[in-house]
Amino acid sequence: MDKLLIEGGHRLDGVLRISGAKNSALPILCATLLTDQPVTIANAPHLHDVTTMIELLGCLGAEVVIDEKMRVEVSARQLKSLRAPYDLVKTMRASFLVMGPLLARFGRAEVSLPGGCAIGSRPVDQHLKGFEALGARIEVLDGYVTANVDGQLKGADIVMDLVTVGGTENLMMAAVLAQGTTRIINAAKEPEIVDLGHMLNSMGAQVSGHGTSVVTIQGVEALHGCEYKVMPDRVETGTYLIAVAATGGHVRLERTAPETLGAVLAKLTLAGCELETGPDWIELSMHGRRPKAVDIETAVYPGFPTDMQAQFLAMNAIADGTSTISETIFENRFMHVQEIMRLGARIELHGSSVAIVHGVAKLHAAPVMATDLRASFSLVVAALVAEGRTLIDRIYHIDRGYETIEEKLQQLGASVQRVS
């Protein structure tokens, strides 16, 4: 099993190009099932989760080709199966997003209940409630969800009981081929929702309001093929900004989207970072200074993203001052705290949702273990500033969400190796 060996104490400095957004690429790949014509996806990141989704599409019978420019072409003209098996879905909960497209186009889908990171309960009941509102019959049996509809789905008003990104995406894809108009009320507003809406419209859908709390979909008879470029990854962008800030360094990130990172950039400014932005770039400078401690409370977009909570906590661990980190999205998302404390961080946990971080001047190397995708990079941030050589185990979590991590960190001057 691969591990990362990081020698801390090197100030990060350089230029990086940001990859395509994982959380956008996964639903967009699912959306290719909505048409019998080829769809080409550009700027998809080369990640384990993307590979898993491509494997799932192939399992259903879609033909997937990756060209020399690393663009993914999917042709779902003839599928051999409408069943997404447990062996694939258990490893990545985004696999459940094939249900909406399959149900919309074929009137039937059978998908295993999802797995993914062990960061708390993330049920799919809002997805199922929405499918039922569109006219589907839902049955849960032996760990699988089966959905059927006689004829076509029919448009309806769907009021979400809570804001859910995956639920909004699944129902958007289901509704594009439904008869009539669908309104998803209390929809998620994340940039990845906007990206999916743009992609669906490129295929001939009539989606509006994506990025607001009410998404309206006017159903069409069929969708066609298209070529679409995935948006830049805002989580990768924020993660590298935080890592560079923690080391007191400087970075210019290119091919990114600053407008998607308002809450993160605001907190980095409070932490003492000098920031400049352009249409598709962000530059951060710390001039060797130690960050200032900043309080964080996660929230749905446009609030501070839960997917960057762990990284910011790691920076606060070596910041000047004491900070409070409040997690409001997922329970059980402080599993990284015990591992960072092995490096000498001073952190108090108050229940499952609040951490008090007392910044220390130095951390010290120790063996640590990654626990979930985003928390794994918090250990990288801590290791980059710790004195000595830190060995991070179970980095398959990192490979699910961060493309060529050791190469990108080496570009910035980090001492990092992948070892077995």
CA distances from 159 to 122, 127, 130 (A): 18, 11, 8
Tell how far CA 69 is from the center of its chain.
23
Q: Which of 156, 160, 105 is nearest to 128 (CA)?
A: 160
Q: Tell me the C-alpha distance between 375 and 389, whole Å.
A: 19
Most distant CA pair in the chain, distance: 65
CB 416 within 8 Å of CB 6 = yes
- Reduce the secondary structure of the chain to three states and give it as a string: CCEEEEECCCCCEEEEECCECHHHHHHHHHHHHHCCCCEEEECCCCCHHHHHHHHHHHHHCCEEEECCCCCEEEECCCCCCCEECHHHHCCCHHHHHHHHHHHHHHCEEEEECCCCCCCCCCCCHHHHHHHHHCCCEEEEECCEEEEECCCCCECCEEECCCCCHHHHHHHHHHHCCCECEEEEECCCCCHHHHHHHHHHHHCCCEEECECECEEEEECCCCCCCCEEECCECHHHHHHHHHHHHHCCCEEEEECCCHHHCHHHHHHHHHCCCEEEECCCEEEEECCCCCCECCCEEECCCCCECHHHHHHHHHHHHCCECEEEEECCCCCCCCCHHHHHHCCCCEEEEECCCEEEEECCCCEECCCEECCCHHHHHHHHHHHHHEECEEEEECCHHHHCCCCCHHHHHHHCCCEEEEEC
Q: Tell me the C-alpha distance between 378 and 306, whole Å.
A: 13
Q: Tell me the C-alpha distance between 299 and 188, whole Å.
A: 12
User: Looking at the annotation, which residues are catalytic?
Assistant: 117
Bridge partners of residue 217, in order along the sequence: 182, 207
